[in-house]
Structure 1
């Protein structure tokens, strides 16, 4: 099963550090995953304005292919000004509504304080619900105090929650294999 780890920002390193940690735990939960990392910072982004996807640059088209080819996703996002980064929303705006249908998704997010801990619940989950993803119920939110000066997660509770997220994600991937993907052609 091909799992796409999405680092949903173009600046900072905490989301990448979270993905590194999640990757360890996902590998522990199931050795059957082929993990690929997509760092949005590595792409030349264009503003999505409704054009057909083939009219965007090569990097934008490559992002679409990576989303379409994946069987499951771990999405990591920082929270800026009470919201997900525009670059992540822009990437979602480029996808066909069926691109992620019935595919498992887990969310990890980080912010400066606890103040924005519900942003994944009230902003990111509705977007993923629109795509009809199988969103695991246990997203993990971190804040600056959970990291050391080298952006390593130092909070044991966060590690435990990430282990649990990986375990639930692995179960969702098993469940998703029984769902028909033929709906993509029918709708």
Structure 2
């Protein structure tokens, strides 16, 4: 796997210190790392970002370019968000608006949502799934929605619920697997041979 080393980044769309969202994304990254991926957690609260304005990019802080470069260089991306009023966070929305196809097209994407209520973060995840498709990302089927997060995490910030722990970690594992398959030399060679194969005359 050394020739096909992949990188996975996790973006936490929460600006709270010691947030449940960041803890969940970090756990998913552990799953990706176990598969052999190089991982990095990006906490948006540590980035100096501005509201998206395409007419003023010359005045953007350096962290905008830094964020774009990190996402662009990754093979797989995990987006984590708290759910606010049935949607994903405004912080994450703005960060996504500051990027585009150059950063996301053709990348694998995994989704994790955290909510304080009983309904979970399904609506936020559905919204992010639309964003992923719009940016031509491959959004994997596996996702994790954590409801009543204040009950599911312990005092140390670890996800104590065993089933959810496994589910969140699986998002990272599956993302890493699909990213590897999508970018491996063997997969690229298969696609090259498939695209150059003679058309099946019986298909007419």
TM-score range for the pair, normalised by the shorter chain length: 0.7 to 0.9
TM-superposed CA distance for 1:150, in Å, is: 3.0
Say how many residue pairs are matched.
178
d(CA) in 1 for partners of 2:33, 2:131: 27
Does the CA contact (< 8 Å) of 2:27 and 2:169 recur in 1? no
Q: Report Cα offsets for 1:28-70 as digits up to 9, x if no partner.
A: 2x11x12122110111121112226444111112111111121
User: What RMSD over aligned residues (CA atoms) do the two structures have, in Å?
Assistant: 2.0
State the TM-score, normalized to the length of structure 2: 0.79
TM-superposed CA distance for 1:116, in Å, is: 4.2
Q: Report Cα offsets for 1:77-114 as digits up to 9, x if no partner.
A: 11122221111111111113232111111111100023
Does the CA contact (< 8 Å) of 1:109 and 1:120 recur in 2? yes
2:62 is aligned to 58
d(CA) in 2 for partners of 1:8, 1:166: 17
d(CA) in 2 for partners of 1:4, 1:24: 11
1:169 is aligned to 175
Higher Cα Rg, which structure: 2
State the TM-score, normalized to the length of structure 1: 0.85
Q: Report Cα offsets for 1:137-164 as digits up to 9, x if no partner.
A: 1110112221123322111110221233
Does the CA contact (< 8 Å) of 1:110 and 1:141 recur in 2? yes
Pairing partner for 2:100 from 96, 101, 104: 96
d(CA) in 1 for partners of 2:73, 2:57: 16
Q: Which runs of 5+ in 2 are unaligned?
A: 1-5, 189-204
Q: Does 1:37 align with 2:48?
A: no
**Which structure features the higher share of helix residues?**
2
